Structure 1
């Protein structure tokens, strides 16, 4: 994920180009006339994935504001597309270096970066303002009693759907159970409407289905226990795969979905935004990406949580999700944390929320959500009784990647439900 995930976007558009990895400070040359040296110069390299409107210009403006108030600080911004960021971050992490501030989703990936000496323990650095964050939003970045990042967004994955297409197919209300969901898929197909848009090439969007089914059938504790025991060969997880196979066998996805990316004009989001598909299972960023790649469905776009599975141990009020955050490089100057305090102040958080692309993580800013689609997610999250971070972030990177790969193969019909859990288990045990 995700993910956008968690805030996933299209072509990279740089505002200020990256000057280079690794950063720090350098002393300015002596002042003219042999006077005292000028204030120490500081360079901050900032990598983020908000590389399109509306957030790209907002953060660009905030960086310029900070530099104007701190003339000795230069902030080099590198806005990257989601997958490009992950690939670039993997490369620099292997070298033992990294940017001063960078995108993170927390969980197992951040833990690996901390263990590898890439991410800094900022517990003490943010002690005076960590209490301003929603505890649930901050939790993903707190590992082993230490804090390695701060959130800028939180949300959940659910079904975004086209109300007009549902009405055309005779579906009166969003499905609340898995049986009702499959019935809705069949009704859409009967009306010659593509039920679901899916980015098979990207893989991570498919893992949402298996994860949610595992949550609904086995319950949240089972996923946590599996990670600890490094064994996913649980009958309930196999049942989750069987339910997903049941859906895939209905052929509910758009033509060519196996080769479809997520955030391009020929991808999943565009199929939704153009009205060519009735549903997509995606995070809170979905409306923004739909609009950017194809079009805005306006009031025709609705949202509903993943359905309950009859007889399952998990509750329909348990949510899968996460949000974007920022980690700080281990060698970053102190100004990096100060800059984060600036862009995540209550005042600036409100500016970010006002774009409609981010949801509140700073206490007291909830009323800044005016976008109807954002309110849909906030309302569902407010009723959540449990929360699971995306598995490809919650688990170590290799395990998360195996979840994505194996589930993609299950959806494609090349791997069985039993083979999925076996492959994930083998990868977990090899870590």
Structure 2
């Protein structure tokens, strides 16, 4: 995602009333006096319903209670955000408060001295957060980001379309998933929605197959050894090719984006495909992308990525991540207090009630109402292992190559062995 969503609410046009949209990177009024006039430049990717108005309201409320603080919000689509942030960080001028998924990208920002160490700031309320949620934002034992959302990637499916194809239960193994695809095609139903143009959604398949076949440690060891040319990764590519060879995706998928009006989320939300592999934000983005703006409602179901027969990995190991915020090196003092507000129980509950967020604050978990989100939360709570999105966990160049290579495999232009050679070649340069 690439973040991938979240990669959460990754689409659409910026709504009115969300704040001023700056082109500069960071504010220049970082005074040590907390009562001095301060401007917080905030970039985030919750740029559509339902989270766009929530963040706008929280900022407005904070400004109302702090007359010396102005919060200028720049909501951005996921890919636009990453491109803009790269430009800002390369110039040494990050925003004051900005979206982060942690992992290798955050580590590079830490190494470059672009973000604040939040360890002492978070210490008084750290225990209010789910411990797992902080892991991607912890670098060398110090905290450099705070998560407001935590979740996992899994399969979202249209129950009505499954019933039309006489599929009575979600698949538990990869072989069963392939059978589901065949049954859907035989019933004249498009099996899978995929945003081929965005690339990051396709990498979910290869990452999960690598986990199921090689075990969670295989991905970690490959990064350490800078070598992906191993039998388990080849097997993961071959299993993915089995799916690709069934031609399961919607027409025009190679040019489809995740959040465009005819993209992956809209295809699912409008009932034009039976399955998508996506994170916990999927229902809300399906709804906001659908013609009705309601999505599938109770017709939508969820199941974890299936096991692979003979694989070393467990079906209880999950792949995903969350949304969080990092603080730019020159951010004014009020930024840290505003960040604490964003992680308050009240704001977390409000965010959770939208259905787009699974909270990281323990006391806010009672606000999870959607049945599918409850299943996601329960699956995550029972997980025996966790892997962050590869395009965030690995150094940026490696993560991008994973996305590019898997996209080439899905497009049929490269073989499983060829993509591993390409990924390894980039890994060795890092």
- Normalising by structure 2, we get a TM-score of 0.96
Residue of structure 2 equivalent to 1:3: 4
Answer whether contact 1:23 1:331 (CA < 8 A) is retained. Answer: yes
Which segment is superposed worse, 156-165 or 360-369? 360-369
Alpha-carbon separation, structure 2, partners of 1:26 and 1:401? 34
Q: Distance in 2 between matches of 1:310 and 1:121?
A: 44
SS at 1:253 equivalent? coil
Partners of 1:304 and 1:46 in 2: CA distance = 35
Range with greater deviation from structure 2 (131-140 or 235-244): 131-140
SS of residue matched to 1:364: helix
The 3 A distance-change label for structure 1 pair 38 and 218 is closer
**2-side partners of 1:412 and 1:57: how far apart?**
37
Deviation at 1:39, TM superposition (A): 4.5
**Are the counterparts in 2 of residues 6 and 322 from structure 1 also a CA contact under 8 Å?**
no
- Relative to structure 1, the CA distance from residue 39 to residue 273 in structure 2 (aligned partners, 3 Å threshold; closer, same or farther) is closer
Displacement after TM superposition at 1:12 (Å): 3.5
Q: Does 1:120 align with 2:116?
A: yes
Which residue does the alignment assign to 1:347?
346
Distance 1:265 1:56 in 2: 18
Counterpart residue number, 1:18: 21
Q: Which SS does the other structure have where 1:263 is aligned?
A: coil
Q: Within 1, Cα distance between the matches of 2:60 and 2:248?
A: 47
Report Cα offsets for 1:102-137 as digits up to 9, x if no partner.
000000011111112222111122211122110101
Could you say which structure has the larger radius of gyration?
A: 1
Q: Distance in 1 between matches of 2:396 and 2:387?
A: 16
Superimposed CA distance per residue, residues 180-208 of structure 1 (whole angstroms, 9 cap, x where no aligned partner): 11111101111011110111001000000
Corresponding position: 1:213 with 2:209: yes
What's the C-alpha RMSD, in Å, of the aligned pairs? 1.4
C-alpha separation between the residues in 2 aligned to 1:5 and 1:65? 24
| 1:316 alignment partner, SS class | coil
User: Which residue pairs with 2:334 in the alignment?
Assistant: 335
Query: Within 5 A, what are the aligned runs for 1:288-327?
Result: 288-294=284-290, 295=292, 296-327=295-326
Match of 2:279 among 257, 280, 283: 283
- Between the aligned partners of 2:297 and 2:338, the Cα distance in structure 1 is 35
2:180 pairs with one of 181, 184, 191 = 184
Provide Cα deviations, 1:133-186, integer angstroms capped at 9, x if missing partner. Answer: 101011110011111100010111000000111111111100000111111110
Q: In terms of mean alpha carbon deviation, does 340-349 or 276-285 score higher?
A: 340-349
Q: Which residue of 2 aligns with 1:70?
A: 66
Counterpart of 1:33? Answer: none
> Is residue 130 from structure 1 mapped to residue 131 from structure 2 by the alignment?
no
Contact 2:34 2:334 in 1 (8 A): no
What SS class does the counterpart of residue 46 from structure 1 fall into? strand
Partner of 2:87: 91
Q: How does 1:27-426 map to 2 (within 5 A)?
A: 39-294=35-290, 295=292, 296-426=295-425
Per-residue deviation at 1:319?
A: 0.6
Please say if residues 12 and 79 of structure 1, whose CA atoms lie closer than 8 Å, have aligned partners that are also in contact. no
Deviation at 1:376, TM superposition (A): 2.2
Q: Distance in 2 between matches of 1:367 and 1:39?
A: 36
Structure 2 Cα separation of the partners of residues 9 and 219 of structure 1: 30
Tell me the CA shift for residue 8 of structure 1.
3.4
2:7 touches 2:45 (CA, 8 Å); kept in 1?
no
SS of the aligned residue for 2:227 comes to coil
- Separation in 1, partners of 2:389, 2:380: 15
Contact kept, 8 Å, 1:18 with 1:45, in 2: the verdict is: no
Tell me the secondary structure at the aligned position of residue 29 of structure 2: strand
SS at match of 1:112: helix
Question: In structure 2, do the counterparts of structure 1 residues 389 and 26 end up closer, same or farther at CA, with 3 Å as the change threshold?
Answer: closer
What secondary structure sits across from 2:73 in the alignment? strand
CA 1:41–1:48: 2 relative to 1, 3 Å: same
Equivalent pair of 2:30/2:333 in contact (CA under 8 Å): no
Q: CA deviation at 1:216?
A: 0.1
